[in-house]
Amino acid sequence: MLAKRIIPCLDVRDGQTVKGINFVNIRAAGDPVELGAAYAGQGADELVYLDITASVERRGTFVELVERVAQTLNIPFTVGGGIRNEEDVACLLAAGADKISVNTAAVNCPELVETLARRFGSQCVVVAIDTKRTPEGDLVYIHGGRTPTERRTQEWAREVVNRGAGEILLTSMDHDGTKNGFALEITRELAESLPIPVIASGGAGSKEHFVEVFKVGKADAALAASVFHFGEIPIPELKRHLRTNRIEVRL
């Protein structure tokens, strides 16, 4: 059995790590390089850095930050936000990122997923899906959760798998920042139906929520931000709790 992964997410705006609730009400959380190094030391399996305003303001993810992170970290990390084309990806991977995450650009041009997978390999391509439950079903949002689309989450996930995505980063906008638990139903639906790993994001508030998302949600990895940034759940303590609940993790 593959070990489940714990992934702190660092949302970056203007060079600082920030965190919000339901994608708004943003507050500062610290230096992204220093925080990343601390998480690596605590036993995080991977990190995700997201430039949360890049696709809205039409600017690319900061290559300089990626270079600093790569020089500091000894664990894999993914970078996303404002990635528009394969040249952006080539630049970020050359700067030291292990994977890239695309959301808005992939929805606007689904062929981009194929292009990236073919040039850089599926293992580098993470498709981030921001999902929200609506009367019409689970729908995909873009532009950092600001713009609704008509795409159904489940159908879009299947499409990007067919186009060559290597992982899905599934964020529930309804749960994001609430600390009320992950969106277990849709996480399980995708995890059980897709042949690639699903990373669950949005709603972590306790160690038990992580147990639930692995046991009930069947996620391959769990991503969280504020519970790590503000010291509410130490990673070593979380991993010991998961082991106690017979969930395989790297200690």
Q: What is the DSSP string of 153-205?
A: HHHHHHHHHHTT-SEEEEEETTTTTT-S---HHHHHHHHHH-SS-EEEES---
Pick the most confident of 13-17, 170-174, 176-180.
170-174
pLDDT at 145: 84
Residue 64: pLDDT band by 50, 70, 90 thresholds? confident
Specify whether 51 is catalytic: no
Percent of the chain with pLDDT over 90: 76
Specify whether 11 is catalytic: yes
**112-146 pLDDT, tens per residue?**
999 999 999 999 999 999 999 999 999 999 987 88
Query: Residue written as tokens 């970020």?
Result: 92
95 pLDDT higher than 60:
yes
Helix H or strand E encompassing 55: helix 54-57
pLDDT at 108: 96
**153-167 pLDDT, tens per residue?**
999 999 999 999 999
Residue 113 burial (10 A CB sphere; 0-12, 13-18, 19+)? buried
**23-44 pLDDT, tens per residue?**
455 556 678 999 899 999 999 9
Which of 11, 45, 88, 176 is the catalytic position? 11
pLDDT at 55: 56
Q: What is the mean pLDDT of the chain?
A: 91
Distances (CA, A) of 232 to 102, 205, 226: 29, 8, 8
Residue ranges covered by each domain of the chain: 5-244
Write the class of the CATH domain 5-244.
alpha beta
Which of 130, 138, 176, 220 is the catalytic position? 130
**Residue 10 amino acid letter:** L
Alpha-carbon span 250 to 221, nearest angstrom = 12
Residue 247: pLDDT band by 50, 70, 90 thresholds? very high
pLDDT at 52: 74
